[in-house]
Structure 1
Amino acid sequence: MSELAAGTGVDAAALPLVHEPLPADEVVIGRPTTAVHTLATIGEVEVGVWEMTPGTASDTEVDEVFVVLAGHARIEFVEPALPAVEVDRGSVVRLAAGQRTVWTVTETLRKVYIA
């Protein structure tokens, strides 16, 4: 499936995604995989669906707001140091470019992101 055409829709929670292993240098615990599907690009803003299977991985973030559709995770903010957040269905989170995070996914996490 490609990007959505204007005037069309998709069930983001049921959208089939193709997973790939994370790079070894990002994996902290387990064998998590991720998948992403871009739904639309509007100007310089990308909207898509992202998913990660259980495990722990580190990341350097981009400017993003996301809404969790399913799953559960704990996001630790390493740099800058901020309190960790627990996310599950319905959580809305704002990330900033350059933040270093560690994601511990305990139930496959699926989110819609705007970045």
Structure 2
Amino acid sequence: MSALAPGAVVDAAALPLAHEPLPASEVLSGAPTTGAVALDELSGIEIGIWEMTPGTASDTEADEVFVVLSGRARIEFVDPALPSIEVGPGSLVRLAEGMRTVWTITETFRKVYIA
């Protein structure tokens, strides 16, 4: 699984992504859609681009680190010990496998993820 050849350059902010609606069971408000592409896998670690349009949805997280390329979001953690965070371009975030979250996207949100 490699969409990115060694030495290749990809404009991560402009890469076209095919979007699909989120499952109704995850949508809390709006009609958000998501798109993603896995760019490569290195030693079992996937690297890709993920995007979500405005709306609010719940999720159970994978073990990942991501960098926000564009857009804005508020991520609320179901665990009351963790404060909500506001993220935007340049934010670097670490999520752990199994964390339950609620994402409120206010501007179409795009990230590079490593999972």
TM-score greater than 0.5 by the shorter chain: yes
CA deviation profile, 1:22-64 (whole Å, cap 9, x unmatched): 0000000010000001111112100000000000000000100
| Residue number in structure 1 paired with 2:98 | 98
C-alpha displacement at 1:80, in angstroms? 6.0
Q: State the one-letter code of the partner of 2:66.
A: F
C-alpha displacement at 1:81, in angstroms? 3.8
- Sequence identity percentage: 70
Note the 1:31-110 alignment, pairs <5 A: 31-79=31-79, 81-110=81-110
Measured at CA, do residues 5 and 80 of structure 1 come closer, stay the same or move farther in structure 2, by a change above 3 Å? farther
C-alpha displacement at 1:7, in angstroms? 1.3
Contact map agreement 1:66 1:93 (CA 8 A) in 2? yes
**Consecutive unaligned residues in structure 2, runs of 5 or more:** none
Q: State the one-letter code of the partner of 1:53.
A: T
1:77 and 1:43 map into 2 onto residues whose CA distance is 29
1:30 and 1:84 map into 2 onto residues whose CA distance is 20
Aligned partner of residue 83 in structure 2, secondary structure: strand
Moved over 2 A (4+): none
Aligned partner of residue 104 in structure 2, secondary structure: strand
1:81 and 1:100 map into 2 onto residues whose CA distance is 12
2:80 and 2:63 map into 1 onto residues whose CA distance is 14
What TM-score do you get using the length of structure 2 for normalisation?
A: 0.96
State the number of aligned residues.
114
| Residue number in structure 2 paired with 1:23 | 23
Q: State the one-letter code of the partner of 1:67.
A: V
